[in-house]
Amino acid sequence: MKYLIVGASSGLGKELAKKFAEENNDLVIVSRDERDLNAIKSDLETKHKVKIDVLPLDFSSINEINDKLLSKNNLLSNLAGVMFPIGMMFDDDNSNLNTESISRLINANYVSIAYTIQKIKKILIKKENTSIIGFGSVSGFLGRDINVTYAGAKRGLESFFESMAFDDDLKKANIQFYTLGYLATNLSFGKELILPKASVKKLSNIVFKNRKVKFKKTYYPMYWMVVNLILKIIPFSILRKLKFK
Amino acid sequence: MSKQQTEKRRLFSFDKSFSTNVIFSQPDKYKLLEKVSYNSNNLINIGSNLSYSPLGFSKESLSINIRSFDRILHFDKKEKTITVEAGLTLIEFLNFTLKHNLWIPQLPGYPTITIGGAVAANVHGKSCGKHGTIRKSIKSILLFHKTHGWLNLSKEENEEIFDLTIGGIGLTGTIVSVTFELMEIKSSKFTTEKKEVNSIEESKKFILDESKDASYTYTWNRADNLINFGKGFVYKNYLDKNPSDFHGFKEVKRKFRPFIFPMWNKFSINVVNFLYSKLNKLSKSEKNENFLNVIFPFYGNENYFNFFGKKGFIESQLLISEEKFESFIEEFKSLFKQFEPTITLFSLKNMNGKQKFLRFEDNKICITFDYVNNKENLLFMSKIDSLYDKYDIIPSVIKDSRLSKETIKKSYNEELISFKEKLCKFDGKRIYQSEISNRLEI
Ligand SMILES: Cc1cc2nc3c(=O)[nH]c(=O)nc-3n(C[C@H](O)[C@H](O)[C@H](O)COP(=O)(O)OP(=O)(O)OC[C@H]3O[C@@H](n4cnc5c(N)ncnc54)[C@H](O)[C@@H]3O)c2cc1C
């Protein structure tokens, strides 16, 4: 079996690569820096009997996706699934962010994922039981003052994954979407957060276990489902006055 | 720098004698390592922070921890070489190499020590009388330095920086990966033999004679009072000759969490030593032991350190020549009589190697003492410090957090000057600085 992991060089992506390789799956791993990808490749190929292909590219650029990923037909043939544990964030992502950065954030966190899925759909539906796994963020629950565009893109991505459930072409595919709370990764490093950071190792085990489930929309950690419910009940006029990180 | 890449933390030296607030960063990508390094004026590297002295942090420096760099980059079973990233811990390292009946024998006593920390401290294991320090297993290093960038270090390339980096206590830059020459190991099971001894002289004779045929030879001696001083047991560990299958070590998270009140005092040490001696006398003189118990004796016995309480302890590890050993011990005993220090651990092993720079390494006897951290003991230790010159003793900078600039200057002499000069030549701005390097004015 072979899986494509976009955003595999650190955090959840790195942990997913570890888990899927441990379970003897070949991988195509995508991230910006070749050095990180090569280190993961060597490690996993040394420890397990798997083949890892690396594709260094900037996932916020559709051109790079076309040139460096979608053109590699032989790499993408026979995929058993795709995962997008990718999250691009900018420190200055507030409501005044410049359009170039907005466009990069929207691309990396939403458009490029939707585009890649569209383009490799044909490969994915050739086989039964292929998995398409996306990751959202609790930051998409509510409008906010930081990570504004990131949150918007993640909200859009969730809607896109829901829409895939209505796509007849994807009837045989397994579509899963995880809305992620605070994870113990470098993205949350140094941040003072209101709830604890959850383990990416545990999450990668869950993702692996669920990979054959037909359609799944869930939260990790699960208590974020309750938080979401509460936020839905409280009128926005009150929520506006509370400040969320 | 982005606030997201750093965190404020309060860090303690392992012996608890020093603590301060620091800025801490844990890059998980090559680019981020470069970025955090470029964005700070002063830096220092930190591994698992298991050094007894504050070597991996300082109030003024950003501590860079590369624990996320924990991958195996290359393995050649035939050539017996491995390249690993410096954030890998020893137990993770062994979990891979032992599967192939390979290892490095210079392993310090705790499994979560990182490769980077081990190389930067030029660590040794129980078999240092035979295998020396980790320096002997290092083929090459990949270093990242804020101004010099990426450097390959080996005997063939950048030899001087290679030499400065091994045992260079993190002052030459960030060790990102290390290539080791591995040794064959047929079995990961040990047989331990022990013998009772009645004096420190007998212990010394044992470690000098026996380390010729047994790799792991060390002693446990009493120092709870003058009457029992030097009595104890000598141990030899042999690797089993019969090959055994290795099934991997399970890493159990254990905590060093000092008790609120210290449990070690003259009385408790006396009782524990008495019981330990009795138990040793009653048990068989030969037994089978598993790998972790032999190589990482404190793994599972963390309470030994927790018992020191919040004030912690001070370890003094000394290298002394065979010839000067007896007269030093005599003088030690006479000061002991006068000051009655509270000592929890006293042990000897043989060491082999060549002293250079700040490296704790020589063809000498290695003596270890653990002291309760109190005024009386500190006074006693300062008296012992004054003997270093007379007996050509080298104290360990990694272990003894209290050592003064003057003491180190006297005992390391030319080697300290040479280390400092070469380091300044390489890095005129002296970017990488720790609490210890500041104190010692390196
Ligand atoms: C229970 C216990 C038993 C021990 N037994 C032994 C023993 O038997 N023999 C022995 O020799 N030592 C022993 N030690 C000491 C220990 O081996 C050293 O202090 C070692 O350096 C700790 O490694 P660390 O990963 O915790 O590194 P830290 O303590 O965090 O750092 C140690 C030094 O390494 C540097 N460093 C760390 N990572 C890097 C890097 N990537 N690049 C450059 N520099 C780096 C730091 O700047 C610092 O100077 C023991 C320690 C404990 C707690």
pLDDT of residue B4: 52
Q: What is the rounded average pLDDT for all residues in chain B? A: 96
> Is B154 inside any structural domain?
no
Closest atom, ligand 1, to C-alpha of B113? 25
Instruction: Give the residue carrying structure tokens 């070749």.
Output: A34
> Is B148 inside any structural domain?
no
A43 contacts B6? CB cut-off 8 A: no
Question: Which residue, B129, B281, B280, B133, is CA-closest to B209?
Answer: B129
> Is A13 inside any structural domain?
yes
By Cβ distance, the residue of A35, A186, A189 closest to B30 is A35
pLDDT band at residue A244 using 50, 70 and 90 as cut-offs: low
By Cβ distance, the residue of B7, B29, B72 closest to A47 is B72
pLDDT of residue A220: 96
Peptide bond into A221 cis (omega under 30): yes
pLDDT band at residue A187 using 50, 70 and 90 as cut-offs: confident
Residues of chain A positioned with their CB less than 8 A from the CB of B40: none
Would you call A201 an interface residue with chain B, using a CB distance cutoff of 8 Å? no
**CATH no. for residue A200?**
3.40.50.720
Show the CA angle centred on residue A17, arms to residues A12 and A20, nearest 5°: 120
pLDDT band at residue A183 using 50, 70 and 90 as cut-offs: very high
> Is A142 inside any structural domain?
yes
- A10's tokens: 């650190």
Would you call A214 an interface residue with chain B, using a CB distance cutoff of 8 Å? no
> Is B77 inside any structural domain?
no
pLDDT of residue B184: 95
> Is B113 inside any structural domain?
no
B73 contacts A10? CB cut-off 8 A: no
> Is A78 inside any structural domain?
yes
pLDDT band at residue A243 using 50, 70 and 90 as cut-offs: low
A10 contacts B68? CB cut-off 8 A: yes
Report CA(B127)–ligand 1 centroid distance (Å). 18
Total domains in the fold of chain B: 1
> Taking a C-beta distance cutoff of 8 angstroms, is the pair A4, A76 a contact?
yes
State the SS3 of B105-116.
CCCCCCCCCEHH
> Is B328 inside any structural domain?
yes
Phi/psi at A35 (5° precision): -65, -45
> Residue B266, Cβ neighbours under 10 Å: how many?
14
pLDDT of residue B46: 98
> Is A244 inside any structural domain?
no
For A145-163, write each residue's pLDDT tens digit.
889 999 999 999 999 999 9
> Is B341 inside any structural domain?
yes
Chosen for mutation from A46, A52, A86, A183 (greatest number of chain B CBs closer than 10 Å) is: A46
Would you call B39 an interface residue with chain A, using a CB distance cutoff of 8 Å? no
Total domains in the fold of chain A: 1
pLDDT band at residue A245 using 50, 70 and 90 as cut-offs: very low
Q: Is B25 helix (H, G, I), strand (E, B) or coil?
A: strand
Mean predicted confidence (pLDDT) in A130-140: 95
Q: Provide the H-helix boundaries in B166-220.
A: 200-210
Range of B223's domain? Answer: 189-404
pLDDT of residue B1: 43
Mean predicted confidence (pLDDT) in A129-150: 93
For A21-74, write each residue's pLDDT tens digit.
999 999 999 999 999 999 999 999 999 999 999 999 999 999 999 999 999 999
For A193-224, write each residue's pLDDT tens digit.
888 899 999 999 999 999 999 999 999 999 99
Show the CA angle centred on residue B33, arms to residues B27 and B34, nearest 5°: 155
Mean predicted confidence (pLDDT) in A184-188: 84
Residues of chain A positioned with their CB less than 8 A from the CB of B6: 189-190
A190 contacts B6? CB cut-off 8 A: yes
Secondary element (H or E) of residue B140: strand B138-145
Would you call B69 an interface residue with chain A, using a CB distance cutoff of 8 Å? yes
Query: B363: burial class by Cβ within 10 Å (0-12, 13-18, 19+)?
Result: middle
By Cβ distance, the residue of B2, B32, B75 closest to A46 is B75
Distance from CA of A235 to the nearest CA of B (A): 31
Closest atom, ligand 1, to C-alpha of B169? 49
**CATH no. for residue B294?**
3.30.70.2520
Low-confidence ranges of chain B (pLDDT < 70): 1-4, 214
Tell me if ipTM is over 0.95: no
For the entire predicted model, the pTM comes to 0.96
> Taking a C-beta distance cutoff of 8 angstroms, is the pair B328, B387 a contact?
yes
Nearest CA in chain A to B177: A39
Range of A132's domain? Answer: 2-239
pLDDT of residue A11: 94
B73 contacts A39? CB cut-off 8 A: yes
> What letter would DSSP give residue B265?
S
| Distance, CA of B376 to CA of B359 (rounded, Å) | 29
